Amino acid sequence: MAKTKLTILAGIAGLLLVSACGTASSDRILFDGKAFRAKAKPVDKRASPTEFTVVVRGASASLDGAREAGRYEGTKFCISAFGTSKIDWKVGPDTEPQNLRITDDQLTFAGACQRP
């Protein structure tokens, strides 16, 4: 009897985990039909709080998609930190392909939020 209850509980736990995974992935924003892991962070919060970098993983899946994912993360960062979507990109989504920074399948952008 104890084995049966344990098996049922394990099955229910497994279903809950699978259903939770489906929900999270459906909330992801796709760029060029693909999901990218991207993160924006300040270069130095104290010395130059407006300057930031964005790293987009999996750039080889779609360079155009990775560029847009980076633009999105940079915009989100600037809106959150400074209330503006204006960005002065040093290396960004509109940079010529030969001048992009891609290392280990990671695309890196650098920019500065423009204060309102």
Instruction: Provide the residue ranges of all domains of the chain, joining segments of one domain with +.
Output: 1-29, 31-113
**Confidence band (pLDDT; 50, 70, 90) for 28?**
confident
Q: Which residues pair with 113 in a beta bridge?
A: 87
Q: Quick one: which of 54, 57, 90 has its CA closest to 71?
A: 54
pLDDT at 22 over 50: no
Identify which has the larger pLDDT, 7 or 78.
78
The average pLDDT across 70-99 equals: 97
pLDDT at 79 over 90: yes
